[in-house]
Amino acid sequence: MRLEDVDFAQQANTFWAVFLGAFLATVGGIAATQAEAWIHRRDRERDSARLFGEILTTLHALIRVSGQTRNVGDPYGPITLRMLRAARRELDVYDRNREALAELRDRDLRARLHSFMVRLTMPVDGVLEGSAEIAALKASLRTPGLTEDLRAETEAMIATAESRRDQGFDFIVEAGDDIPDLMVGIASISRQPFKPYSTEP
């Protein structure tokens, strides 16, 4: 065997060793990057689920309490309306963080959650606005010199507004019953049961 053949074999071995090392380093780098991206995505999804879980459990408690206060004393007194205003603030928190919805990989859960929030927002706004409208109409009944025709018309408007408000509130209470089902999907992603927030008093 010639010396040139030995040198060529050594160079070939060195080349393949370098090539194999570079290949393994590249594959390892890609795998590490993919694993890091997957972990980061999972963490973002869990954070998103925890945020929406907190919002839903708070809404569930507020709807439950407002339903109870509605049955005591003035159905739409200051406590009931305060609960609904607090629920509206929770809906505002959802609106401000709605882009986090995209972090949830479950498309069905995303659609159900957003649909629920939209369906709840409308009656909450309706009850709050209806209460303000009814208060203004009742105040107008105390206007001096009000004719009987105008009084009758105003009272009819009050009765209609109160009926719409009752329907809206009933819808809110019914919608609140959907929250536990949503929480099952949210809890499975967040790995957090949310039991301390949803336990009945």
Q: Has residue 23 been placed in a domain?
A: no
> To the nearest whole percent, how much of the chain has pLDDT over 90?
46
Residue 11: what pLDDT?
A: 60
Residue 95: what pLDDT?
A: 94
Per the CB < 8 A criterion, the answer to whether 186 and 56 are in contact is: yes
Distance separating alpha carbons of residues 75 and 68, to the nearest angstrom? 9
Per the CB < 8 A criterion, the answer to whether 58 and 90 are in contact is: yes
Domain enclosing residue 88, as ranges: 47-198
> pLDDT per residue over 33-65, tens digit each?
665 655 657 778 888 889 999 999 999 999 999
Q: Has residue 28 been placed in a domain?
A: no
Q: Has residue 70 been placed in a domain?
A: yes
Q: Has residue 171 been placed in a domain?
A: yes
Q: Domain tally for the chain? A: 1
Residue 6: what pLDDT?
A: 46
Nearest of 198, 174, 176, 185 to residue 105 by alpha carbon: 185
3-state secondary structure 61-82: HHHHHHHHHHCCCCCCCHHHHH
> pLDDT per residue over 178-194, tens digit each?
999 998 889 888 777 77
Amino acid, res. 65: V
Q: Has residue 40 been placed in a domain?
A: no
Per the CB < 8 A criterion, the answer to whether 127 and 168 are in contact is: yes
> pLDDT per residue over 60-74, tens digit each?
999 999 999 888 888
> pLDDT per residue over 158-170, tens digit each?
999 999 999 999 9
Q: Has residue 115 been placed in a domain?
A: yes
Put simply, whether the predicted model's pTM sits higher than 0.85 gets the answer no
Q: Has residue 131 been placed in a domain?
A: yes
Q: How far apart are the first and last CA of the chain?
A: 91
